[in-house]
Amino acid sequence: MIALTVSPTLVLLPGMDGTGTLFDPLRQALDPSLPVQVLDYPADQVLDYCALVERVWQQLPTDRPFVLLGESFSGPVAVSIAARRPAGLLGLVLCCSFVRNPRPALAPLAPLLGLLPMGRLPFWPMDALLLGGFSTPSLRQALAAAIAQVAPRVLQARLQAVIAVDASRALRETSVPVSYLRASRDRLVPASAAALVRQLRPDARLVDIDGPHCLLQAAPREAAAQLHAFIQTLIPACNGTGEH
């Protein structure tokens, strides 16, 4: 008897830019048969993590199973959604992300973030942090274009939100399988962020991929392969009669 499988929708939550446009390399690398839904955040509206969770909640699939991926900044959003146990959620993926401020030493600087001239900062430090040795002209152009779409005050607010966030309890309250994609050359989110995820969810699947913080952009084929492998473990096999 042949087992039949149905692909769930992969719901992608973006990094700090919130545009969703930076998922293009990953979408091109994924199997075309895998349904993908990209969500974005307002580029000109300051929303804290709680507000973003509510925004995402309203856009989740309600008529089909899905897997939720939180990239970088969106990790706490994805975790908070998963803790609510929405119907249809099969699994949770965190990519180069965190559930608590990944750089606690920066917490005392939170009041100063509002003074950063986000719209006038040079691009090269961001390029070095996010892409590093994997930087290419096309990746730099895509990253710069995405960041340029977002109001400086929104970026400042998101940075402050990262410093204050703690979704540890929410992660402990999740019940679906968890996969963490860790970039081996991430200069922004340290390995301790993944270690905390494993501490809170010892059963989490930890996958190391050679790449920078912008892993889904710089190593899309490798990331896509790992996503497909994880999703396959979540799809229940059905027999030829359609019975589970």
Listing DSSP states for 218-240 in one string gives HSHHHHHHHHHHHHHHHSPPB-T
Q: Which residue has the tokens 């974005």?
A: 40
CATH of residue 122's domain is 3.40.50.1820
Residue 119 lies in a domain: yes
pLDDT tens digits, 50-72: 999 999 999 999 989 999 999 99
Which two three-digit tokens encode residue 212?
A: 């920078």
Look at the chain and report how many structural domains it folds into: 1
Decide if 243 is inside a domain.
no
In a domain, 74, yes or no: yes
The model's pLDDT over 58-111, given as tens digits with 9 standing for 90+, comes to 999 998 999 999 999 999 999 999 999 999 999 999 999 999 999 876 655 555
Has residue 3 been placed in a domain? no
Residues of the chain with pLDDT under 70: 1-6, 105-124, 236-244
Instruction: Give the ranges where the chain is alpha helix by DSSP (H).
Output: 24-29, 49-57, 75-83, 124-130, 137-148, 152-164, 168-172, 191-200, 215-218, 220-234
Q: What are phi and psi of 207, to 5 degrees?
A: -125, 125
Query: 113 lies in a domain?
Result: yes
